[in-house]
């Protein structure tokens, strides 16, 4: 059977029903000792576990729980050496409480509020799964003194962590259990309209992240360029009051002289689809025009420079459209949030990098849509070739700022590891904007240098440039290559997310980039 036949019955055209738990709030006067439900989860710091001279907890909540349990809580924590550090958790099934189980989750002393409380939500979801808990309560041992604005951030992070922690991508499993968790009470951090607004925002972003995870997790025999384009059209259709879709076929891309993008796509039986969604606010004046550009290789064999040998990870090359997933996930979230005063273009040059007699060869010279010529010295440096025409197209939409995201280089993974994405931009102002957005979104970025002297290694004797330099500084030269296709009047940033797209530990997509992109767009809205 040819690889071009997508098994749609397994894919995103028939997604599994996603029923996230319902999040609600309760005031601080709820008696937590008597709260009835499956799990009472308490976020604690090392300071909360301090004892008095009689070895009793000084913290009022822990003291009340321990008193009700006649010292069993204190005894169990001592036996398990629980100190409240980040990543620690303990769950006790005890008979004397209203809750069937009480769980203590360590908060540690993390620098990022969003990350700390997102992790709390994830930990609660992880505890709830094996217990098949249907309802849980989450509270903090010490909510006193937290400013109201910070409580909004904390609640949003807890809710997001719980919803995303509950989600399991089970579309391709023959037997699987649906999540049992149906409701979550967040107690003692406030109630009211502002909390409800923040909770809706968290839910909108989570829906985008879940879509992004599904897109990255879907195998290449399911998620072809055409199916990815279909998913983009579905997003536009669902939020048609603010989103429109334009999908360019091969002939239209030829008319736009996208020789760089089409060169990569030439070997595959699955034709390329150039995706362009546009968000316009439902009312009011547009003050800022932005573009989000995502690398969209639904499979990357490496081409004639085929990926071989240990560590090449060819079996994971379905994730090479992680940038596209982030862009489309952000589109889904923003279609629900509907920010004012900002126009956003979501652009993906979707294709496969395969091998055939019609394919691009090492040594070929191709011409991008801005007229620049490229000598292809490595067919496995294909993502930047597709992005070249996507960036030119984005500039032609009249945008002022562009952020592109791509699983672009292994060099960036070597430099920054699996937890941090690399950021490249000549604009200090844009760097500050996106850094603030990433902090609010709980994602780690690190600005890398755009060392212009390294461009010497990218010069060709027969064309304007080659598509790869030497091994040294590989992520920098890749970013410098992309810079050749961006109008000088446009502020531009490249995010190399190669290390962040997939979690080896969880064996699945991370949904990286979506929360940062949404936060950045909102920073540019009126």
Q: Write out the two tokens for 153.
A: 């951030």
- Angle in degrees, CA 277, 160, 412, rounded to 5: 65
Q: How far apart are CA 249 and CA 271, in angstroms?
A: 8
Task: Calculate the CA dihedral of residues 122, 182, 173, 502 and round it to 10 degrees.
Answer: -20
Say how many C-beta atoms besides its own lie within 10 A of residue 16's C-beta.
14
SS3 of the chain: helix, strand, coil, percent, to 5: 40, 20, 40
Nearest to 345 by CA among 355, 334, 353: 334
Question: Do 117 and 158 contact (CB within 8 A), yes or no?
Answer: yes
Q: How far apart are CA 466 and CA 314, in angstroms?
A: 24
Q: How far apart are CA 498 and CA 407, in angstroms?
A: 4
Residues near 62 by beta carbon (within 8 Å), at least 6 away in sequence: 42, 44, 48, 49, 73, 141
Task: Calculate the CA dihedral of residues 304, 305, 309, 315 and round it to 10 degrees.
Answer: -70
User: What does residue 287 show for φ and ψ, rounded to 5 degrees?
Assistant: -105, -25
Q: How far apart are CA 378 and CA 362, in angstroms?
A: 6
Q: How far apart are CA 117 and CA 194, in angstroms?
A: 18
Q: Write out the two tokens for 154.
A: 């904390």
Question: Do 431 and 509 contact (CB within 8 A), yes or no?
Answer: no
Strand 421-424 with 445-447, pairing: parallel
Question: Do 13 and 227 contact (CB within 8 A), yes or no?
Answer: yes
Residues with catalytic roles: 307, 384
């Amino acid at each position: 059977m040819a690889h071009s036949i997508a098994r749609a019955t397994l894919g995103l055209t028939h997604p599994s029903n996603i029923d996230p738990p319902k999040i609600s709030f309760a005031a601080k006067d709820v008696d937590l000792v008597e709260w009835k439900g499956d799990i009472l989860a308490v976020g604690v710091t090392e300071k909360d576990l301090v004892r008095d001279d009689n070895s009793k907890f000084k913290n009022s909540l822990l003291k009340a729980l321990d008193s009700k349990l006649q010292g069993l809580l204190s005894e169990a924590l001592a036996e398990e050496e629980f100190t409240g550090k980040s990543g620690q958790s303990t769950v006790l099934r005890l008979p004397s409480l209203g809750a069937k189980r009480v769980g203590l989750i360590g908060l540690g002393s993390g620098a990022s509020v969003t990350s700390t409380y997102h992790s709390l939500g994830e930990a609660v979801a992880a505890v709830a799964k094996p217990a098949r808990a249907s309802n849980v309560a989450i509270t903090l041992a010490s909510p006193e003194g937290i400013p109201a604005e910070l409580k909004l951030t904390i609640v949003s992070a807890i809710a997001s962590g719980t919803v995303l922690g509950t989600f399991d991508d089970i579309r391709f499993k023959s037997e699987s259990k649906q999540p049992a968790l149906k409701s979550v009470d967040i107690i003692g951090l406030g109630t009211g309209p502002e909390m409800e607004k923040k909770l809706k925002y968290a839910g909108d972003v989570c829906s985008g992240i879940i879509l992004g995870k599904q897109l990255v997790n879907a195998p290449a025999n399911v998620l072809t360029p055409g199916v990815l384009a279909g998913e983009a059209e579905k997003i536009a259709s669902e939020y048609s009051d603010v989103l429109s879709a334009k999908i360019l076929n091969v002939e239209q891309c030829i008319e736009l002289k996208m020789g760089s993008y089409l060169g990569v796509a030439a070997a595959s039986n699955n034709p390329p689809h150039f995706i362009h969604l546009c968000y316009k606010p439902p009312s009011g004046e547009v003050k800022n025009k932005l573009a989000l550009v995502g690398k969209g290789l639904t499979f990357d064999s490496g081409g004639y420079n085929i990926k071989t040998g240990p560590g090449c990870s060819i079996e994971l090359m379905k994730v090479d459209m992680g940038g596209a997933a982030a862009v489309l996930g952000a589109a889904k979230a923003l279609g629900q949030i509907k920010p004012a005063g900002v126009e956003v273009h979501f652009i993906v040059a979707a294709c496969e990098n395969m091998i055939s007699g019609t394919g691009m060869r090492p040594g070929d010279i191709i011409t991008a849509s801005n007229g620049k010529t490229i000598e292809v010295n490595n067919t496995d440096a294909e993502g930047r070739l597709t992005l070249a025409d996507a960036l030119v197209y984005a500039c032609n939409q009249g945008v002022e700022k562009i952020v592109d995201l791509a699983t672009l280089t292994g060099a960036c993974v070597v430099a920054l590891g699996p937890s941090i994405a690399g950021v490249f931009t000549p604009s200090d102002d844009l760097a500050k904007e996106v850094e603030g957005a990433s902090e609010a979104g709980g994602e780690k970025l690190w600005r890398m240098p755009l060392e212009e002297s390294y461009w010497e290694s990218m010069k060709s004797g027969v064309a304007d440039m080659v598509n790869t330099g030497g091994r040294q500084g590989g992520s920098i030269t890749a970013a410098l290559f992309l810079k050749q296709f961006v109008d000088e009047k446009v502020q531009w940033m490249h995010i190399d997310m190669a290390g962040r797209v997939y979690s080896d530990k969880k064996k699945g997509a991370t949904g990286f980039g979506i929360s940062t992109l949404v936060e950045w767009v909102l920073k540019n809205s009126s």
